[in-house]
Amino acid sequence: TWQRQRFPNNVIPLSRMSPLAKYFYSVTPEPTNSANPLVAANYFGPGVSNRLDHTETVRIDHRLGDRDQLFGRFTHGNRWAKSRSGGGGSPVMLDEAGNITFRPVRDDSAVFSWTHSFSPTFFSETLASGSNEDLFIYVGTDHINHADRLGMPNPFRETGLPNFSDTGFDMVYSYADNKRNNITQVISVDQNFTKIHGRHELQFGGRFRHERLHVLPDQQQVQGQHSFASGATALYDPGTGSAYGAVPRTGHNAANLFLGAMGSYSAQFVRKWYFMRAREYALYLQDNFKVNSRLTLNLGLRWEFYPAMRE
């Protein structure tokens, strides 16, 4: 008959508090004013937004002799940032498990150059460079398996905090940004030669470039999406017929949270890493031909080959 009994004095006993509610209450900031949360917001506080950048560079120039000169540079950069995130302006959880996003970025690059003179009319330049950029975006204590710790479903064995919404007072406990990671690695080698012969300045050489792109696409709701929007604590209205219906002004999502009674649950399966590769090959020949003191012809030919990107 869908009938229910009210709790004595219309108050849920503390003994019925769910472990999930006990955890959420322990990581929710205390109210900063006395407003009734059913009527107005009772918490006001700063929105976290911190960022730290630093870059270090080392450069070396060295002349080995009259014919050889070396140059090298290495640069390391790091950016660390965190900011409040979450629906409805919810504050950061006290244990930073949710409602806060971290965005660390690491950049490393290096260049090496060797210039060699075979003769006064023939010399070469060898240039090699490489770079690595690692951009990672995640929420809170992403390394912790919160779903298992809290007794929640976790079909894909994911870490990080699941999303919990519709708690009754506009407080959301969420993995508010999608975890994702881009790692870009590039290596290139250029070999250039210059030969002067009479009125001809011949330039020729080639390039090899190799790129690796490791991508973790947006991991949207892989930890699970939970909602407390349900009629678990409402009285049944028999006037609604065979479908369940609640008596107006009975039940509350905060009471559902207290009991640990979910309204809905879902989880998405998202592919993990893509490992993509791309290459470039090039050769060139150029003749800067000085016809006379008033006319120079720049004649050149370049061949480039880009194989299809593969994964």
Residue 225 corresponds to which tokens in the numbers above?
């999406």
Distances (CA, A) of 81 to 44, 57, 90: 22, 21, 19
Contact 185, 211 (CB under 8 A): yes
At residue 52, the pLDDT reads 96
Which DSSP symbol is given to 16? G
Distances (CA, A) of 5 to 12, 232, 236: 12, 12, 10
Is residue 20 classed as helix, strand or coil in its secondary structure? helix
In angstroms, rounded to a whole number, what is the distance separating the alpha carbons of residues 175 and 154? 15
pLDDT tens over the chain, length 311 residues:
667 888 999 899 999 999 999 999 999 999 999 888 888 889 998 888 999 999 999 999 999 999 999 999 999 999 999 999 877 789 999 999 999 999 999 999 999 999 999 999 999 999 999 999 999 999 999 999 999 999 999 999 999 999 999 998 888 999 989 999 999 999 999 999 999 999 999 999 999 999 999 999 999 999 999 999 988 898 888 777 666 788 888 889 999 999 999 999 999 999 999 999 999 999 999 999 999 999 999 999 999 999 999 99
In angstroms, rounded to a whole number, what is the distance separating the alpha carbons of residues 2 and 137? 46
**C-alpha of 175 from chain center:** 12
What per-residue string of b and e applies to 170-185 under the rule 16 or more CB within 10 Å gives b? Answer: ebbbbbbbbbebebbe
Count of Cβ atoms closer than 10 Å to residue 198 Cβ:
8
Distances (CA, A) of 223 to 55, 118, 229, 248: 35, 63, 19, 34
Q: Which amino acid is at 254?
A: A
Output phi, psi for 308, to 5 deg. -60, 140
In angstroms, rounded to a whole number, what is the distance separating the alpha carbons of residues 234 and 243? 14
In angstroms, rounded to a whole number, what is the distance separating the alpha carbons of residues 294 and 171? 78
pLDDT above 90 coverage of the chain, percent: 81
Residue 124 corresponds to which tokens in the numbers above?
């070469």
